[in-house]
Amino acid sequence: MSYFTDLALQYIDGQWCHGSGSWDIIDFDPYNDEKLASITVATAEEIDLAYRAAERHQRAWAKTNPYTRRQVLERTIRLIEEREQEIAEALIAEVGGTRLKAAIELHQTKEFLRESIHLALRAEGRIAPSPVDGKENRVYRVPVGVVGVVSPFHFPFLLSLKTITPALALGNAVVLKPHQNSPVCGGSLVAKLLEDAGLPPGLLNVVITDTAEIGDIFISHPVPKVIAFTGSEPVGRQVATVAASHFKRTVLELGGNSALIVLDDADLDYAVDAAVFSRFVHQGQVCMSANRIIVDRQVREAFTEKFVAKVKTLKVGDPEDPDTHIGPLINAVQAEKVHTIVERTVSEGATALLRGTKHGNVISPTVLTDLPEGSPALREEILGPVALIIPVDGEDEAVRVANDTPYGLGGAVHTGNIERGLRIAHRIETGMVHINDTTVADEPIVPFGGEKNSGLGRLNGEQAVEAFTTTKWISIQHARSGFPF
């Protein structure tokens, strides 16, 4: 099967079909600009068909024995293992990720699917006491019904499946809208795997389209009860606004501006390794990337020298080459945006310890320091291979600088004293902090999500049960009640 030829379609109510829009989304290889696929966009009519199909089929799925539901996910894992090489090649071609990045994404996807298998059995109810004699209160956890999922481009296969499969395992149906830059790996390929694994028709629908065609109907449609969105803060604000106006719950995983703090007692060689990975994995196009590397002045010179030396060893270029560390950014718009940020920041007075060059969508690493206070680069999310080294005097200033951002997704602290690291981690205003590790971390049973402008809600493990189920109270009066009139 050629994924980009055979799966350049919508998937609605178990049928592969063309969209009825008047224009096509063109799927390009970001490294060589080769056209991978052309997909006619879905219209508002197809959005309605997808949601109505999900609503229609969800009722029977919710009644299906959860042990039966989880068998679909078990088969999905086996299919990923059988097709791992093909999927990796598709990921490299569609999003420009390196072979290492594809391997990480596939490994993580299988781990999250294994957790989803267990989630099928976790929607447990409880018996609650009552102040009324003879009364029994039963509180059930039931599926919300239909979930709308909007997935991003950077880890499209993982982030689609880690959201979809918990919802399905818990008895819901899903309509998925993948990012326009990853419509196959984040959308139709996911549908094909679940179809081949035996998921009944209509429970997963994939609509490939753009808001220019459908407006807000994906969010405002009356069928979905929960919208799970992963993407940029501005779009997340729009999703939240529209969803709230229609009384829908949201799970929003938005941007980040994570800080990796290197204290004066850190293992510098290890901290350099963690910082380089945290900043440059997948070209820095990860919401958890260490946008800012905050270093105590006592170790600044030694750390910076080691950091720049290691960054210079990173191989930049063709993601097909197994030795490549940094491939292309997702598209020309993003590449130009990152290039402009570097030009602007240097013109403001920042010192370029290493100045990257731009060739097409490929940008080699840039390392900047001595940024003027108030530089926009310090507060924005830079989705590209640009590292900012910020010197500070002591841990109090490190915490202040780390928190001086509208975002609050993740971070890391490197220190030789674990208790000191814990004290600082508690002071950092983020949803996640990692001591002596990378900022880029996600695990199947640990709550994932951010504070401030980095989103609302959490996913993974029990948090997925909270996100994709609701409670229902049924009381039973075993004795006769007395009424006041």
Domain ranges for the chain, please list them.
3-254+454-473, 258-435
For residues 349-378, give the mean pLDDT: 96
296 in Cβ contact with 392 (< 8 Å)? yes
User: Looking at residues 98-126, what average pLDDT do you find?
Assistant: 96
Q: Tell me: the pLDDT tens digits for 16-61?
A: 999 999 999 999 999 999 999 999 999 999 999 999 999 999 999 9
Q: Residue 325 has what pLDDT?
A: 98
Name 173's bridge partners: 146
pLDDT at 252: 98
The per-residue pLDDT of the chain, averaged, comes to: 97
* pLDDT tier, 335 (very low <50, low <70, confident <90, very high otherwise): very high
pLDDT over 80 (residue 69): yes
CB atoms within 10 A of CB 211: 14
Multiple choice CATH, 258-435, 1.10.760.10, 3.40.50.300, 3.30.920.30, 3.40.309.10? 3.40.309.10
**DSSP state, 281?**
G
Residue 272 pLDDT class (50, 70, 90 cuts): very high
Stated as kind and residue range, the H or E segment containing 105 is helix 99-119
Exposure pattern of 381-420 as b/e (b: 16+ CB <10 Å)? Answer: bbbbbbbbbbbbeebeebbebbeebebbbbbbbbbeeeee
Whether the per-residue pLDDT at 174 is higher than 90: the answer is yes
Residue 156 has pLDDT above 90, yes or no: yes
Q: What is the mean pLDDT of residues 283-295?
A: 97
Q: Is the pLDDT of residue 82 over 90?
A: yes
- Which pair of structure tokens corresponds to residue 84? 């791992």
pLDDT of residue 482 exceeding 90: no
pLDDT at 434 over 80: yes
Cβ distance 370 to 379 under 8 Å? no
Annotated catalytic sites, by residue? Answer: 253, 287
Q: Does residue 70 register a pLDDT over 90?
A: yes
Q: Where on the phi/psi map is residue 379: left (φ > 0), alpha (ψ -120 to 50), or beta? A: alpha
pLDDT by residue (tens digit) across 202-246? 999 999 999 999 999 999 999 999 999 999 999 999 999 999 999
What CATH architecture is 3-254+454-473? 3-Layer(aba) Sandwich (3.40)
DSSP label at residue 187: I
pLDDT in tens, 440-467: 999 999 999 999 999 999 999 999 999 9
